[in-house]
Structure 1
């Protein structure tokens, strides 16, 4: 097929050889199957901000790191340069998360290159070598549902131990891949990470993690109803918050919240300190 303009530039740079077909068009990007030498990969073209149906909610972009203070000030003021910097930060967030999670052993597509808003990465395939289906397109037996649910809960833990919360995890952005071996089994691969957040630096991370885990519970609970009674999300976050979570932590799926008395005075002091720091920061930026 004829290469889109943004992929034609990559052909001219020698990063890809040809475009095979369009794989999908989503709320954030278009994905194409491409050839790179002897390998088949995929190219994710991020849509411009005004062409996306998914907006960069402040919940996701809170505390995202940028290259320098000038960019941070411009982003805070909403200048043209700031909007461009924010767009670049949004796109590079997925690239950063993929490299970080791949290094931590999380099952995500292997990233290869990122150039001019195009991410080149591994094409995740099924047993026939075709593009792997999303979970929402697959029916499972109760045993398969329990197995894949356990695998994905462990992946959420591995992500969290690497300091990352997916933020939008559901059956729509998990692929069911195949090992490629004749007797190999299918396994889930997590995709779509531009909204990933820093677990320690984003105040909305706990809520997002609970939602991610609840989405897994609700989906697989259709096939294995006993999963609907589990409470892995609160258990995982409680262990993480107390510094007790690791990749080897044995989870139970049960959670009983603590009813210890809250030190309200300490909480209010923390809030007042945060307000004072924010006011001082705004004053410095205005000077």
Structure 2
């Protein structure tokens, strides 16, 4: 990815009538944007175009595509050029809210009509849930990024599409932790990275809620935690500690299977102490 500066001379009058075939104009304008200061690879120029490079991951609630955004300058490798991950949540007709009831406990919306619609899973309620999951993940990523936690930077949110940092190198996505076999000396360091991340989360009253080696990427020697739409309020959700314990069990089991003595009880005790210290 390349650092850049926005062009202060830009105006809509300078845009051609249409972007190149198979591409679209930058979707930055009109979207909700991630926290400042933004990383220098984020392209905000309205003259930029975007191209979908294909599906990176499919899921029950959303698919993740790879999107390239760049500012054309007549060369094959323009100076302003970056790749992002585009998470596109399904519409209410095609989504499977198979576990959302438990995660939604402790969350509130302002209007009682909306709460009833979501509880009854009416068409209107399902649309609200779809939007809630997208906005919940975007907001969570923004807050976690500001805390310095290892998560993708959330670039923008438009309807059901969230653009975020592409985790990888030279166009190749970082593997999921479940697909890797770290060396023994790295394994211990990775567990400490996990412990620090989960402790900071718990200290702010949160749990991932669906943490597993499939929701953690290994980028070089650094863990990056992904998939945050179900982030759980440990105290406000009646099942908060249950979700936290499941996160701990999933991760410790994987590390033990790789030969590391990962103590679930010890980690869970540390996280409970961090979560309850706020009260």
Does 2:243 match 1:208?
yes
Among candidates 114, 117, 126, match of residue 74 of structure 1: 117
- Displacement of 1:133 in angstroms is 0.5
Aligned counterparts, 1:92-131, within 5 A: 92-126=135-169, 128-131=170-173
2:85 equivalent in structure 1:
42
1:11 equivalent in structure 2:
24
Aligned counterparts, 1:184-223, within 5 A: 186-223=221-258
Task: Give the number of the structure whose residues are more often strand, by fraction.
Answer: 2
The 10-residue stretch of structure 1 (226-235 or 193-202) with the greater mean CA deviation from structure 2: 226-235
CA distance in 1, matches of 2:96, 2:117: 24
CA distance in 2, matches of 1:28, 1:77: 19
- Displacement of 1:103 in angstroms is 1.1
Provide, for residues 38-84 of structure 1, a one-character-per-residue CA deviation record: whole Å limited to 9, x for no partner: 11111111123443455143110112132544422433444432232
Does 2:70 match 1:28?
no
TM-score normalized by the length of structure 1? 0.72
Among candidates 211, 234, 237, match of residue 169 of structure 1: 211
- Displacement of 1:190 in angstroms is 0.3
Task: Give the number of the structure whose residues are more often helix, by fraction.
Answer: 1
Among candidates 53, 57, 67, match of residue 100 of structure 2: 57
Unpaired runs of 5+ residues, structure 2, are 1-20, 29-48, 71-80
Contact 1:100 1:162 in 2 (8 A): no
Unpaired runs of 5+ residues, structure 1, are 1-7, 179-185, 245-287
CA distance in 2, matches of 1:113, 1:50: 24
3-state SS of the aligned residue for 2:257?
A: coil
